[in-house]
């Protein structure tokens, strides 16, 4: 009996080893998290630069003149309440793209809805903050919403931007996204022209993609966002989907195009940004 039992044990062990050695490891080719992160990343990043472009200073809206001289009629309607900041704070600025929407001449995207900004001090003052809400807001058919965003003027040319419980949605999927970012304005701070504003970003984010998989993001090389470009132009981030390896997202070296690469375990994939 002992010999029979020993032979059976050996046979089971051999079969187990054989089965394990024949089972192939599925390659990690998950790119959905990077694609979905970009959908949220690009527009929530843009929201900060938009608010800053129209930010309130002592004499009202910083770039009121740009709608006539630079946007060629392609800008939103902007209202301020109270209209005179001498009446005190908080002051509410509404950036209104209308219910039918308009093509924004700065980045060529079609926007609808409102960006409502509540300022608690003059925006030129370091330490000033603004609370931002999106109302019926969509870009190229994708709806963006969040519990709120808060932007703080943290240094002379620096800002912190926090997005709380962001959502990016269309009729087929619903993405979740949150982030805490530090922005440094590297160009355009000394004039009223929003077209030449350039920002460098660092920080982290987290989200849930359309398949329900959560992921985290950490910027490893500052992201560069130019107001006049529809996409992120350069920089790198590490993106880690739940249960999968870290992958590196590379936005390039400064060309204004919608191409980025995703590197997973040494394999490189190219994808198109939103």
Question: pLDDT digits over 46-66, tens only?
Answer: 888 888 888 865 445 454 434
Mean of pLDDT values over 255-274: 88
State residue 124's pLDDT score: 86
DSSP 19: H
pTM: 0.82
Confidence of residue 25 (pLDDT cuts 50, 70, 90): low
CA–CA gap between residue 245 and residue 265 (Å, rounded): 7
Going from N- to C-terminal start, the domains of the chain cover: 30-272
Confidence band (pLDDT; 50, 70, 90) for 228?
confident
Q: Provide mean pLDDT across the span 118-134.
A: 92
CA distances from 138 to 39, 44, 142, 167, 218 (A): 12, 12, 5, 11, 26
What are the tens digits of pLDDT across the range 148-162? 999 999 999 999 999
Contact present, 172 and 157 (Cβ < 8 Å): no
Question: Which distant-in-sequence residues (6+ apart) come within 8 Å of 200 by Cβ?
Answer: 183, 184, 186, 222, 223, 224
- Give pLDDT, residue 213: 97
Tell me how far apart the terminal alpha carbons of the chain are, to the nearest angstrom.
69
């Amino acid at each position: 009996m002992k010999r029979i039992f020993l032979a059976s044990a050996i046979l089971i062990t051999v079969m187990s080893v054989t089965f394990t050695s024949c089972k192939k490891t599925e390659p990690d080719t998950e790119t959905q998290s990077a694609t979905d992160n970009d959908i949220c990343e690009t527009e929530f990043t843009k929201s900060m630069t938009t608010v800053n472009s129209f930010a309130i200073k002592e004499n009202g809206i910083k770039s009121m003149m740009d709608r006539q001289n630079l946007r060629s009629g392609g800008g939103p309607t902007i209202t301020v309440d109270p209209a005179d900041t001498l009446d005190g704070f908080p002051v509410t600025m509404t950036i209104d793209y209308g219910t039918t929407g308009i093509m924004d001449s700065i980045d060529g995207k079609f926007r609808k809805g409102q960006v409502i900004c509540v300022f608690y001090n003059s925006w030129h003052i370091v330490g000033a903050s603004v609370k931002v809400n999106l109302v019926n807001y969509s870009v190229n058919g994708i709806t963006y919403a969040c519990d709120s965003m808060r932007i703080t003027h943290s240094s002379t040319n620096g800002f912190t931007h926090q997005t709380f419980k962001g959502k990016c949605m269309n009729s087929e999927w619903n993405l979740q996204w949150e982030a805490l970012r530090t922005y440094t304005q590297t160009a355009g701070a000394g004039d009223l022209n929003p077209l030449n504003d350039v920002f460098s970003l660092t920080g982290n984010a987290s989200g849930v993609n359309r398949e329900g998989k959560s992921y985290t993001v950490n910027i490893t090389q500052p992201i560069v966002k130019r107001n006049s470009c529809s996409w992120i132009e350069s920089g790198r981030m590490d993106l880690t989907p739940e249960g999968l390896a870290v992958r590196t997202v590379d936005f390039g070296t400064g060309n204004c195009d919608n191409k980025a690469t995703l590197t997973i375990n040494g394999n490189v994939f190219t994808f198109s940004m939103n």
